[in-house]
Chain A
Amino acid sequence: MSVTTAPDWVRRRTEPNWLARLFDYKPFLVFACLLPAVGLLLVFLTYPLGLGIYLAFTDTTIGRSGVWVGLENFEYLLEDKLWWNAVFFSVFYTAVATIGKFGLGLWLALLLNNHVPFKSLLRAIILLPWIVPTVLSAIAFWWIYDPQFSIISYLFVDVLGWRTTNIDFIGSAWPARFSLIAANIWRGIPFVAISLLAGLQTISPSLYEAALLDGSTAWQRFRFITFPMLLPILAIVMTFSIIFTFTDFQLVYAITRGGPVNSTHLLATLAFQRGIPGGQLGEGAAIAVSMIPFLVAATLFSYFALARRKWQQGESND
């Protein structure tokens, strides 16, 4: 057996190659890690939004790239009665539907916050209108509001005999508007109720106990404990709800298509009508862009008027 003695092994310090050094360089690493997220945002958010805004300043039609026309589209919209109509109805629709959703949603949340039998089951059922795809519920409402075959008309005319004619849900302007608002409220309540319920459950019971010891009434407990404690989440839910309602499309398009005589066009449906079936992409984009100021205003309102707690604005709570 021979023994070979190896020379003392010394670990050779290899210079790390350029790639390793690059990835050890922190600013680069940060940049590289951000890249996928930034790429996604650029491709799927910034580009479509930017393109939409760019299109609003051109006369592009489907299949023909347009030329820059500056503010021409917006100038036309300002003198377009249909656009003003849509602005009016969008604001009205959002305002009334939001009030309805929050009134009923808050009420429902308070009820569900009590101890009731089958609480979890009830909460699951409440979510149903929100879970059903909007188009399906819209089609259901379309049938409910049908001029000839409405189930409600059927009940009142043929079953109860209280009326002799069918109810005119969507055949004239104001009934059509309120019918759509009712459908939107029905659909929006669960979102509000469940969100507010989550908020309610974060309120410490000790506050209520203290108030009870002080001999408060139920209204006082709501007014001075529940409501102020709920306000932060209320602000956020309301911001979302306003944005969803203002940009609603499916309900209106499926039920009335903006009719009768354009009285129920929202800005979103009008933008689609002009842009896709009408082919005027530029004008449709301009209508869509004209929604931005309203949305920004609504968001700012929720932010400043309702979210007055300091932590919501990035400071520590006191």
Chain B
Amino acid sequence: MTLITRRSALQLGVGAAALSATGALAQSRVTAANATPPSLPIEKGATLRMLRPVRFVQPDEDIFRAGAAAFTKATGVEVRVDFVGWEDITQQTAVTANTGAGPDMIIGFGDAPHIYADKLVELSDVAEYLGKKYGGWMFVGEKYGKRHGTNNWIGLPFGGTAGPLVWRKSAVNAVGLETPPSDLPGFLDMCKKLKAAGKPAGFALGNAVGDGNGTANWLLWSHGASIIDEEGKVSINSPQTVASLNYLKELYPTFVAGTLAWGDISNNRAYAANELSVTSNGVSLYFSLKNDPATAAIAADTEHTPMPAGQAGSWPSAPLTLNAMVFKHSRYPNAAKAFLQFMLEQEQYEPWLNANLGYWAHPLAAYRDAAVWTSDPKIAIFRDSMNNKFWNGYKGPISEASGQASAEYVTVQMYAAVASGQSTPQEAAREAERRARRIFRR
């Protein structure tokens, strides 16, 4: 397989065709180390099929397809990429893994390769090569990539996105603070002042897949609590959890009304309508405000900082991660691995990363210097998303059960039960433990 590397492209001064695809790289500051790519002799007559989630922004799809076309050009392997709705990718991964038919590769969500580990082709050679070349894998990338407790890679993370604190500078400044405090009591105090000033905070406590679980995870992890321990035993009913529930009990009255009924879109709408001044969300909220002339002023007044860390050593948010896997049923595993490697090489990956405007953050450290992270100072915070030390189902192994616990809102409902006054913190923690035991029983 002969690839056109950036270096050779520059040396040769390759003409328009190559440059139009890699033009931006001419000024790229991303530096790659020398590493020998694994030998992946591509099978004769190989063709590939891939599933991945649909785009956030149109260039995502365009550049991804261009990357696949470049791969076809370089190797002669036809690649068909199908874009699947977000809600369907998990189920389609399950069916593909268990029927042993369908696409050769899927870019699914973080935990998928761990659930179907036995059905996947090991990717250690590609992962280690990429790690060596691009400054090493960042924490969440490695966590989701390697099979639990081993050094064997079963997934190749493509990107992740975490939910920071999104806040209105004017509102926070008006209550006498430069930035939101990163300690929990200080944060509570700020929320009280904001509420008194009529500019409340609001965090989803409803059955919202992303935002609801984001709120619950933040509360849990910032108090040193977790749903399971390192061995995967249920550990939710702990004094730390009760402390976090008590904290929410004080925090909840500072929220805008209705957060118990919020879905994933609710906080975006309320924030855009000036109903609240502090929430947590991915970068999408900022861009939707910025791109609409009616709300551009709100975007200009919006800042991102990590959620208050409390006892957490790092930003307590588990990035939603794209994780690529190759199935054993593929007739062309080498071609599939070569394709994934090709897509994560700088020539393809950096333009793709830039085109995503910060919706996805890189899992390979060298891409920290990609142009996207300096394109807008307000999204710089997302650059290090994958350095968080948290994942879904923290502190335990990543498993089917940890995904189910999020899908059934076990911890979200524990917090909501206390916020609504339906349960005492102790009762809520016991109930969550009962449900978690059922989910993690296998």
Binding site for B on A (CB under 8 A): 61-65, 76, 81-82, 145-149, 165-166, 168-173, 176, 256-262, 273-274, 276-280
Q: Tell me whether A259 and B206 are in contact (CB under 8 A).
A: yes
Bound: A149/B271 CA distance, A: 12
User: B220-252, CB under 8 A of A: which get 1 and which 0?
Assistant: 000000000000000000000000000000000
Min distance, Cβ B47 to any Cβ of chain A, angstroms: 25
**Nearest A residue to B414, CB-CB:** A261
**Nearest B residue to A265, CB-CB:** B207
Among B93, B207, B435, the residue within 8 A (CB) of A259 is B207
* A280 / chain B contacts, CB cutoff of 8 Å: 404
Q: Tell me whether B270 and A63 are in contact (CB under 8 A).
A: no
Q: Tell me whether A147 and B407 are in contact (CB under 8 A).
A: no
**Nearest B residue to A257, CB-CB:** B207
Q: Tell me whether B416 and A259 are in contact (CB under 8 A).
A: yes
Q: Tell me whether B91 and A276 are in contact (CB under 8 A).
A: yes
Min distance, Cβ B256 to any Cβ of chain A, angstroms: 7
Bound: A169/B258 CA distance, A: 9
Bound: A36/B348 CA distance, A: 55
**Given A63-B97, A64-B98, A147-B257, A257 contacting B273 (CB threshold 8 A):** no
Min distance, Cβ A58 to any Cβ of chain B, angstroms: 14
**Nearest A residue to B208, CB-CB:** A257
* A61 / chain B contacts, CB cutoff of 8 Å: 400
Min distance, Cβ A124 to any Cβ of chain B, angstroms: 35
Among A168, A169, A170, A273, the residue within 8 A (CB) of B408 is A273
* B435 / chain A contacts, CB cutoff of 8 Å: 82
**Nearest B residue to A64, CB-CB:** B98
**Nearest B residue to A81, CB-CB:** B431
* A146 / chain B contacts, CB cutoff of 8 Å: 258, 266
Q: Tell me whether B97 and A171 are in contact (CB under 8 A).
A: no
Within 8 A of A (CB), among B378-415: 400, 403-404, 407-408, 413
* B407 / chain A contacts, CB cutoff of 8 Å: 273, 277-279
Bound: A43/B101 CA distance, A: 24
User: B408-428, CB under 8 A of A: which get 1 and which 0?
Assistant: 100001001100101000000
Min distance, Cβ B424 to any Cβ of chain A, angstroms: 14
Bound: A171/B256 CA distance, A: 11
Min distance, Cβ B199 to any Cβ of chain A, angstroms: 14
* A257 / chain B contacts, CB cutoff of 8 Å: 206-207, 263
* B258 / chain A contacts, CB cutoff of 8 Å: 146-148, 166, 168, 170-171
* A170 / chain B contacts, CB cutoff of 8 Å: 258, 261
Shortest beta-carbon contacts, A-B, top 6: A147-B258, A63-B94, A260-B260, A257-B207, A63-B98, A277-B407
Min distance, Cβ B272 to any Cβ of chain A, angstroms: 10
Bound: A112/B199 CA distance, A: 51
Min distance, Cβ B98 to any Cβ of chain A, angstroms: 4
Min distance, Cβ B103 to any Cβ of chain A, angstroms: 15
Bound: A274/B435 CA distance, A: 12
B275 within 8 A of A: yes
Binding site for A on B (CB under 8 A): 91, 93-95, 97-98, 116, 205-207, 209, 256-263, 266, 269-270, 273, 275, 400, 403-404, 407-408, 413, 416-417, 420, 422, 431, 435, 438
Bound: A65/B95 CA distance, A: 11
**Nearest B residue to A65, CB-CB:** B98
Min distance, Cβ A262 to any Cβ of chain B, angstroms: 6
Q: Tell me whether A62 and B91 are in contact (CB under 8 A).
A: yes
**Nearest A residue to B270, CB-CB:** A148
Among B94, B116, B262, the residue within 8 A (CB) of A147 is B262
**Given A166-B257, A277-B408, A278-B407, A260 contacting B420 (CB threshold 8 A):** yes
* B206 / chain A contacts, CB cutoff of 8 Å: 257, 259-260
Bound: A68/B416 CA distance, A: 35
* B266 / chain A contacts, CB cutoff of 8 Å: 146-148
**Given A259-B207, A279-B403, A279-B407, A173 contacting B422 (CB threshold 8 A):** yes
Among B261, B404, B431, the residue within 8 A (CB) of A278 is B404
* B417 / chain A contacts, CB cutoff of 8 Å: 261
Q: Tell me whether B413 and A262 are in contact (CB under 8 A).
A: yes
Bound: A139/B431 CA distance, A: 32
Bound: A273/B438 CA distance, A: 15
Among B95, B98, B260, the residue within 8 A (CB) of A171 is B260
Q: Tell me whether B422 and A261 are in contact (CB under 8 A).
A: yes
**Nearest A residue to B423, CB-CB:** A261
Q: Tell me whether B416 and A260 are in contact (CB under 8 A).
A: yes
Min distance, Cβ B440 to any Cβ of chain A, angstroms: 12
**Nearest A residue to B271, CB-CB:** A148
* B207 / chain A contacts, CB cutoff of 8 Å: 256-259
Q: Tell me whether A261 and B413 are in contact (CB under 8 A).
A: yes
Min distance, Cβ A79 to any Cβ of chain B, angstroms: 9
* Seed contacts A81-B431, A173-B420, A258-B207; 6 additional CB < 8 Å A-B pairs: A256-B261, A261-B260, A261-B420, A261-B422, A278-B407, A279-B403
Bound: A165/B275 CA distance, A: 12
* B97 / chain A contacts, CB cutoff of 8 Å: 63
Min distance, Cβ A146 to any Cβ of chain B, angstroms: 8
Bound: A220/B338 CA distance, A: 85
**Given A63-B95, A148-B258, A148-B266, A279 contacting B416 (CB threshold 8 A):** no
* A171 / chain B contacts, CB cutoff of 8 Å: 257-261
Bound: A172/B420 CA distance, A: 7
